[in-house]
Amino acid sequence: MALTIPHCYRLKLLPETTEIAIKLIKDAFQQRIAKALNLRRVTAPLFVLSGTGLNDDLNGVEKAVSFPVKSLGGRQAEVVHSLAKWKRSKLAAYGIAPGFGIYTDMNAIRTDEELDNIHSIYVDQWDWEQTIRDTDRNLDYLVATVRKIYTALRETEQIVYDRFPHITPVLPNDIKIVHSEELLQMYPTLSPKEREAEITKKYGATFIVGIGADLSDGKPHDGRAPDYDDWITPNNAGYRGLNGDIMLWNHVLQIPFELSSMGIRVSPESLMEQLRARGCEERAALPFHRSLLAGKLPYSIGGGIGQSRLCMFLLQKAHIGEVQASVWPEEQIEECRRNNIFLM
């Protein structure tokens, strides 16, 4: 999307007060998500060594920021895109029991992002991962987890309202669960992004299941790397996929707003099936993938929840630069300033 200036945008919090509100949101939400999912905080890396298979490949086209490490003989390290696979390795290292897990503050640099109201080259999110049993690898467990996260979102929204009563809550009581194939059947003439807009505007909050596998039109709803979320296993609703996206309707920008990508992680069997589907079976030789295929990593569910995006949504801001410090084109900064949008 290009830069959007909402009609008659009103600044609800001054920059100094916004800083206080950001801390309020981050403290409140991480406490609630940790309690809801039995998570404990761990320390995470900013970068990992290249060639280990630990970094998140996102859609497979984004290039990680990398640099040579002098003390390691010039070996390349790369800034993480996310910690989807690293967290699963940490569950194994700590021997975390089913039903319990970890979360961490993840910071990334994604230089391929197009800079607009909701995209920045700086990404900050809570990355979380929970150990599960083989019998938990089903749609019911996925949806139950989504509803726990959504409850934490609504509770945090209420805390913001209690502190700043002029920022009134907008989240609906429940989140609509819908599969990407169902969306295609509902809106066959629309693009995936247009389908997201229609369903999210209608319900206010949606969880779109099944991101990565080809739908009946021969195309995936959106891209997913083949080696963390399980998007190929049939679920008990009759479709493929044990992953999805939490989408909220952004009333300020009038757009669907992705807050979280999450899912049940690949089993050894679905990993190989997905690697074959994407034509990258050679990844099976990487250290992370070898560990998974050898049964050394636990079954898990996990995801990322955007910190700046959550703050932007709950504080009803028009630009993500109002809640995070990053870099923006000068013309974008000036255009925002002329319309009462002040970027950090």
Q: Which helix (H) or strand (E) is 16 found in, with range?
A: helix 15-37
Q: What is the mean pLDDT of residues 29-41?
A: 97
Assess if residue 271 is contained within a domain: yes
Hey, CA dihedral for 131, 135, 139, 140, is it positive or negative? Answer: negative
- The 3-state DSSP class for residue 127 equals strand
The residue behind tokens 């300020």 is: 252
Assess if residue 267 is contained within a domain: yes
Assess if residue 250 is contained within a domain: no
Domain of 26, CATH number, reads 3.30.930.10
Does residue 59 register a pLDDT over 90?
no
pLDDT tens by residue, 230-261: 999 998 778 999 999 999 999 999 999 999 99
Largest CA distance in the chain: 58
> What does the pLDDT read at residue 213?
93
Q: Which helix (H) or strand (E) is 41 found in, with range?
A: strand 39-41
Does residue 340 register a pLDDT over 80?
yes
Could you tell me the residue range of the domain that residue 295 belongs to? 15-169+258-338
> What does the pLDDT read at residue 344?
86
- Number of domains forming the structure of the chain: 1
pLDDT tens by residue, 172-223: 999 999 999 999 999 999 999 999 999 999 999 999 999 999 999 999 999 9
> What does the pLDDT read at residue 49?
86
Does residue 62 register a pLDDT over 80?
no
Q: What is the mean pLDDT of residues 297-325?
A: 96
> What does the pLDDT read at residue 21?
97
Task: Label residue 85 by pLDDT band (50, 70, 90).
Answer: confident
Assess if residue 206 is contained within a domain: no
Distance CA 180, CA 210 (A): 6
Higher pLDDT, 62 or 123: 123
Q: What percent of the chain has pLDDT over 90?
A: 81
Distance CA 307, CA 331 (A): 26
> What does the pLDDT read at residue 84?
84
Beta bridge partners of 126: 105, 305
**Mean pLDDT across the chain:** 93
162-201 burial: b if 16+ Cβ within 10 Å, else e: eebeebeebbeeebebbbbbbbbeebeeeebeebbbebbe
User: What's the gap between Cα 262 and its chain centre?
Assistant: 6
Assess if residue 3 is contained within a domain: no
Assess if residue 97 is contained within a domain: yes
**Tokens of residue 84, six digits:** 């989807």
Distance CA 302, CA 304 (A): 7
> What does the pLDDT read at residue 57?
64
Taking CB atoms within 8 Å and a gap of at least 24, the contacts of 162-165 are 163/21, 163/24, 164/12, 164/13, 164/21
Assess if residue 221 is contained within a domain: no
Plot region of 184 (φ>0 → left; ψ -120 to 50 → alpha; else → beta): alpha
Assess if residue 243 is contained within a domain: no
Q: What is the mean pLDDT of residues 78-95?
A: 90
Q: Measure the CA angle with vertex 46, ends 94 and 114; round to 5°.
A: 130
Given a contact cutoff of 8 angstroms between Cβ atoms, the answer to whether 224 and 84 are in contact is no
* Nearest in space to 240 (alpha carbons), one of 228, 225, 230: 230
Beta bridge partners of 260: 246, 305
Does residue 60 register a pLDDT over 70?
no
Query: Catalytic residues, which ones?
Result: 56, 110, 125, 245, 258, 261
* Nearest in space to 94 (alpha carbons), one of 52, 149, 41, 30: 41
Does residue 61 register a pLDDT over 60?
no
Q: In what order do the strands lie in the sheet with 176-179?
A: 39-41, 101-109, 122-131, 300-306, 255-264, 243-250, 205-209, 176-179
pTM, rounded to two decimals:
0.93
